Structure 1
Amino acid sequence: MASSKREKELARQRAERQAARRAAAAARRKQRNAVLASVLAVVLVAGAVIGLALAAQSGGDDELAAPDPEASAEPSPDASPLPPGSCLYTPTADPASKPAPLPPAEDVEDEQAFTATLTTSQGPIVLELDSAAAPCTVNSFVSLAQAGFFADTPCHRLLTGESTSILQCGDPTGTGTGGPGYQFADENLDGATYPRGTLAMANAGPGTNGSQFFLVFGDSMFPPDYTPFGTITAGLDVLDKVAAGGTTGIAPTLPVQVISVEVAPQAG
């Protein structure tokens, strides 16, 4: 009888110990899961913050140098081959931000190099325009410059990231949505890169080039989506000064106003 009671007591104690162990294990699992959930939440929040920071800096690779996404992109110009020396400039639904005639579309120069001098409120910037690589782009830029389209216009966007270092100009409205009232196809994109000193077109998508362009003052890792059409031969120190001043929103804190753009053919 005593033996039976002893066995029952031992069994009860074993059951209590097992129950206690199970309860302790459950508590440990609950605590571990709570810790993991907290860590995961921190990781997710950190990832979101990093993503927002990158987005705030660059707007995403596809829009780094594009006009404001709110600007409606028209259908791309006809991509069918054009006769040599010809370009296609297609009027857009949005009117020109300043008076601007369509550039000449025939007998477009593809051998003559041009020098463009931007007189800005922060100092002069000299560009060499490459007609051989991007004849229709250079033809448009020269036409707009000669028409006074760029005169008294702001450079409205400054990016100073490690791989996105540009000053964007060419919009008379200063909003990122302005243009010349026409658009044209991309050029010179095969293997395009954007090292320091590059001059390239901004756009809102394929075939939507207009008047906005950007000046690269630091090696930039853009996809080959933006037509390079020249180089900066003088004035990188001006851009470095503007970049060092930082931004207010997306605009440079040191205001950059394009006072005039003078274009001249290069000799030879």
Structure 2
Amino acid sequence: MASSRDRQRKLAREKLERQKARRAVKERRTRRIRAGVGAVLAVLVIAGGVAWLGGAFDRDPPADPAADDICAWTPQSTSTTPELKDVGTPPTDGIATSGTREMKVVTSQGTIAASLNLGTAPCGGESMSYLAGKKFYDNTECHEITAFGALRCGDPSGTGRGGPTYTFYNEDVPALPTPGPSASAAPPPAAPAYPAGTVALISDPPGNNGSQFLVFLKDYSPKDQALYPIHGKVTTGQDVLATLIL
């Protein structure tokens, strides 16, 4: 009959083996993510300026191309978050509030182009344009593919904690559909909150946006609450995204 001490040793060995197994699974997943993402060096370029709705690249400006002080840039300190990178703060006036701005992410796998919606997310568009002009994104890695299938980019530190020394509020968080009364006929499926190709911002905590953004590789609808403000959508480069799906 095994002694109490022998049983304790056996339980300890079993616990250690379980921990090793969990660690191995985690390491395999990390290697898979790095294999899919590690070679993707994102160089973000804002090109083409603003393409105004109703007449892209027309010479005549729209009637009201800007608004005064519509974006509140909240200062953040590098003393509390050393991963932040100080490149100053975007302007608070002269910010375009309609039309679109083109964004290009040049990677080692190819180029992804997106259209940023300035009508629904003017501060996000202004921030990304400002940071690109400061070369904030140059030679940074898209450091993660999230569990819900989105490429996460825009952090020079590659830790998930990096960003500029300012944050700004959410602008266009999608509303999830509310379930209606039961009926005999099944309702049609709701459109995904984040269709494949959506460009959205991500922050921790939510609502304190900086430089990090998501590019959704597949449709995604959260169960409880949408957290990521939509910024725009991919226009070309879907084939590049397809190579990153694990």
Please tell me the TM-score bracket, short chain as reference.
0.5 to 0.7
Aligned to 1:184: 168
Aligned to 1:148: 135
After superposition, residues 199-214 of structure 1 pair within 5 angstroms as 199-214=199-214
Whether 1:238 and 2:240 are equivalent positions in the alignment is: yes
Secondary structure of the structure 2 residue equivalent to 1:168: strand
When normalised by structure 2's length, the TM-score is 0.61
The separation in 1 between residues aligned to 2:216 and 2:174, in whole angstroms, is 19
Aligned to 1:130: 117
Q: Encode CA deviations 1:117-158: one digit per residue, 9 max, x unaligned.
A: 111111100010000011111111111111110101000111
Secondary structure of the structure 2 residue equivalent to 1:218: coil
- How many residues align? The count is 165
The separation in 2 between residues aligned to 1:147 and 1:224, in whole angstroms, is 30
After superposition, residues 83-102 of structure 1 pair within 5 angstroms as 86-94=70-78, 97-102=84-89
The separation in 2 between residues aligned to 1:138 and 1:89, in whole angstroms, is 13
Whether 1:174 and 2:161 are equivalent positions in the alignment is: no
1:112 is displaced (CA, Å) by 3.2
The separation in 2 between residues aligned to 1:123 and 1:190, in whole angstroms, is 29
The 8 Å contact of residues 103 and 114 in structure 2, kept in 1 or not, is answered as: yes
1:235 is displaced (CA, Å) by 1.2
Secondary structure of the structure 2 residue equivalent to 1:225: coil
The 8 Å contact of residues 86 and 107 in structure 1, kept in 2 or not, is answered as: no
The separation in 1 between residues aligned to 2:173 and 2:202, in whole angstroms, is 13
The separation in 1 between residues aligned to 2:134 and 2:83, in whole angstroms, is 13
Unaligned runs of 5+ in 2: 1-24, 30-66, 177-192
The separation in 2 between residues aligned to 1:229 and 1:85, in whole angstroms, is 20
Secondary structure of the structure 2 residue equivalent to 1:118: strand
User: What is the percentage of aligned positions where both structures have the same residue?
Assistant: 35
The separation in 2 between residues aligned to 1:98 and 1:238, in whole angstroms, is 29
- Counterpart amino acid of 2:72? L
- Counterpart amino acid of 2:165? G
Secondary structure of the structure 2 residue equivalent to 1:215: strand
RMSD: 2.6
Secondary structure of the structure 1 residue equivalent to 2:204: coil
Unaligned runs of 5+ in 1: 1-52, 58-82, 245-268
1:99 is displaced (CA, Å) by 4.0
- Counterpart amino acid of 1:128? S
1:217 is displaced (CA, Å) by 1.1
The separation in 1 between residues aligned to 2:207 and 2:214, in whole angstroms, is 17
**Which has the higher Rg, Structure 1 or Structure 2?**
1
- Counterpart amino acid of 2:85? K
After superposition, residues 24-43 of structure 1 pair within 5 angstroms as none
- Counterpart amino acid of 1:144? L
The separation in 1 between residues aligned to 2:230 and 2:98, in whole angstroms, is 16
Q: Encode CA deviations 1:190-245: one digit per residue, 9 max, x unaligned.
A: 4272110100001112421010000001001233211101001111211110224x
Aligned to 1:77: none
Q: Which runs of 4 or more aligned residues in structure 1 lie more than 3 Å from their structure 2 counterparts after TM superposition?
A: 95-99
Please point out which of 83, 103, 106 is paired with 2:93. Answer: 106
The 8 Å contact of residues 184 and 209 in structure 1, kept in 2 or not, is answered as: yes
Secondary structure of the structure 2 residue equivalent to 1:139: helix
The separation in 2 between residues aligned to 1:99 and 1:204, in whole angstroms, is 18
